[in-house]
Amino acid sequence: MSYPENIALVDCNNFYVSCERLFRPDLLNKPVAVLSNNDGCIVSRSQEVKDLGVKMAVPVYQIKHLVKQHNIQLFSSNYPLYADLSARVMHSLNAFSPSVDIYSIDEAFIDLDRYSGNPTALGLDIKSSLSRWVGIPVGIGIGPTKTLAKLANYAAKKWPKTGGVVDVGDLQRRKKIMQITPVSEVWGIGRQINKKLNKLGIKTVWELQSQSVAAIKKHFNLTLAQTVQELQGNPIISFNEKSKPKQQIICSRSFKDKINNQQELAQTISVFCLKAAEKLRAQGGVAQQVSIFIRTSPFDKKRFYSEKATYKLKSGTQDSRDILKIAKKLLSSIYLPAYEYQQAGVILSDIKPRNDEVCKQEDMFNLVSQDSGKSLQLMKTIDDINTRFNNRISFASTGSKMLQQSIPINKSKLYTTSWEEIALVK
């Protein structure tokens, strides 16, 4: 596939908060934030919350005084609602381009090559249309590479006078934006690399893009060298490439209430096993290594305990029963009584595509199912039923545990995916 000469990044503004406000217009211009799983941290903020100095991922308990003082409206995550509205945004983008490269739940790159008019005018049309069709506000950055489109999107959100759309195709405009933008705002520049660049006197995007690619590769790494190439207008990051299967699947949670009972901890880990195995089968892989970890609170210094155990299989498996058996044995090997555990998780790794060569080998300790044909059919049947009937089939080892470990404090309704919770107009 040829690389497009003009790319637009469409990025939803404060996406989770925008989804909540879509069905609660009374929250417009008021401070709103959405919380992570188990209501632990801030994962989405309205501009009003950002203006109060609240950072991303800050634990809620650290800003209790601000929540009370400014009446910040907090919502538990409502992923079915966010996923549905994201699908509507992505589907709508097809009206403007036949090639949409979805990057995340709230971002997508689109190919503008088939459009012969002014790119900024098209960006404004897209922004206006998404507001009317879906109700979600977006910012749009346009450039010849993905990294430049990201930079343009930053400028579109940073300076409201742009109307929420910035095109850096013009070299003079691109240079001006680069000269006033900190290098920390470049896509992929983390805190440590930013510090190192600053020590070398590289503080703006312009100063970074002016560096020799070879020198950056020598003193940093290939990834940063590719970033410099992209900033110089040379496309390196692929467009619309098929995503690669994950090499590792992790399912873990921090518990709202600490666990001091091995059976209860085993049930919780069993839930994680089933979820991880389901993801593994969805990508058509088999895992040859299973790990579990358990830990107490790091703030409980007198009684802190953290341990991990791993089992390497002779053959790959995607059977939930195999993973449950292994996880149970691993837990028995590292569990210590008299501790209060706050976090646990399951890691499936050494993942390979499912094929006969991997599956036909027998496990030394007979921990994997021997009849792969029946195993595959059984797992497929369970997945099909759970997909259709919302996880109605589970295993006895999970007891009454579910993946969600706490009751959401303020979860909005499933306005777009449930007839019982559809929005009413009075």
pLDDT tens digit string along 259-305? 889 999 999 999 999 999 999 999 899 999 999 999 998 777 667 89
Q: Note the pLDDT of residue 201.
A: 94
Residue 366 confidence (pLDDT) above 60: no
Taking CA atoms, 19 is separated from 56, 78, 261, in Å, by 18, 9, 39
Per-residue tokens: 350: 């050494």
Residue 411 confidence (pLDDT) above 90: no
**Which residues share a beta bridge with 254?**
343
Q: Note the pLDDT of residue 367.
A: 54
Q: What percent of the chain has pLDDT over 90?
A: 66
Q: What value does the mean pLDDT take over residues 169-184?
A: 95
Out of 220-224, 229-233, 314-318, 364-368, pick the least confident. Answer: 364-368
Under 8 Å between Cβ of 289 and 311: yes
Q: Nearest CA to 141 among 117, 166, 116? A: 166
Strands 138-143 and 285-296: unpaired
Q: What value does the mean pLDDT take over residues 393-403?
A: 73
Under 8 Å between Cβ of 329 and 368: no
Per-residue tokens: 301: 């210094």
Q: Nearest CA to 153 among 105, 118, 187? A: 187
Distance CA 384, CA 284 (A): 15
Q: What percent of the chain has pLDDT over 70?
A: 92
Out of 57-61, 205-209, 343-347, 394-398, pick the least confident. Answer: 394-398
Distance CA 28, CA 21 (A): 7
Q: Note the pLDDT of residue 310.
A: 95
Rounded mean pLDDT of the chain?
Answer: 89
- Burial of residue 177 (CB within 10 Å: 0-12, 13-18, 19+) is buried
The radius of gyration of the chain's CA atoms, rounded to the nearest angstrom, is 25
Per-residue tokens: 232: 């110089």
**Sequence letter at residue 78:** N
Residue 13 confidence (pLDDT) above 50: yes
Q: What value does the mean pLDDT take over residues 297-315?
A: 85
Q: What is the dihedral of CA 275, 281, 286, 290, to 10 degrees?
A: 0
Residue 357 confidence (pLDDT) above 50: no
Split at pLDDT 50, 70, 90, the class of 397 is confident
Per-residue tokens: 274: 């089933």
**Sequence letter at residue 194:** N
Residue 115 confidence (pLDDT) above 60: yes
Residue 186 confidence (pLDDT) above 50: yes
Helix (H, G, I), strand (E, B) or coil at 423: coil
Name the DSSP letter for residue 421.
G
Length of the chain: 426
Q: What value does the mean pLDDT take over residues 78-99?
A: 94
